[in-house]
A and B are shown apart, each in its own frame.
Chain A
């Protein structure tokens, strides 16, 4: 007995309730067969996603989902649940991105990576962006130390406030 005939035989057996499983009803209606262990996405991933290689390069999950459903129609098997198809597609895209990043690193080489890393480091050994980050942290500390719920006026409004209360000082001026 071939595996396909075994699958068809399993589909033809009604359930104990006499109604059959929903997948069996769908299979009878549309001429599809139930998925077997060999049809699992993990076992047939190369075949399942091979027609969608272009879609994977385009990095569009919706087109990849359509390719999975089209491949299932070609094999005349019932497609997995929508959430499972989404998981398979996301996993395939993640694998593709990992492969792409490894490929980019291999093409760039150690010298290219060192050149790219040099863009993130200043000649003095200080990391680029640290100065602005420290400044941002300092400004955050100053603004949090200002225990006022009113918004700090700026420009002409601040000059008006200063003219009314000469003792007032701008928090930003204190920070500077």
Chain B
């Protein structure tokens, strides 16, 4: 799934996070009952922030893996 880069370009991150929390709290049956603009905004915010969270998690995992396999620095 591809989201446009400028979906919430000029919107406060605080407001996008509020939409993401609202979408995460609502069951799918209620999300389907929303109008198209509301549904697009809620699920767009959810997908956008979830993709960022997954990316952050993968990067953290990669950094942890690199630190695990990296040789310990020798003193002197």
CA separation between A117 and B61, bound complex, in Å? Answer: 31
Chain B interface size range:
20 to 34
> What would be 16 A-B contacts, judged by CB atoms less than 8 Å apart?
A57-B11, A58-B12, A58-B14, A59-B18, A101-B38, A104-B41, A105-B37, A107-B7, A108-B3, A116-B40, A117-B32, A120-B28, A120-B43, A127-B29, A127-B32, A129-B29
Residues on A with beta carbons closer than 8 Å to the beta carbon of B47:
116, 119
CA separation between A98 and B7, bound complex, in Å? Answer: 15
Residues on A with beta carbons closer than 8 Å to the beta carbon of B12:
57-59
Q: Do B32 and A102 touch across chains, with their CB atoms under 8 A apart?
A: no
B interface, CB within 8 angstroms of A: 1-4, 6-8, 10-12, 14-15, 18, 27-29, 31-32, 36-41, 43-44, 47
Residues on B with beta carbons closer than 8 Å to the beta carbon of A37:
none
Residues of A within 8 Å of B, CB-based: how many?
A: 24
Q: Do B4 and A112 touch across chains, with their CB atoms under 8 A apart?
A: yes
Quick one: which of B14, B27, B41 contacts A101, CB cutoff 8 A? B41
Quick one: which of B1, B7, B29 contacts A104, CB cutoff 8 A? B7
Most buried by A among B8, B31, B36, B40: B40
Over the window 84-107 of chain A, the binary record of Cβ atoms lying under 8 Å from chain B Cβ atoms (1 yes, 0 no) is 000000000000001011101101
Taking the closest CB of chain B, its distance from the CB of A88, in whole angstroms, is 19
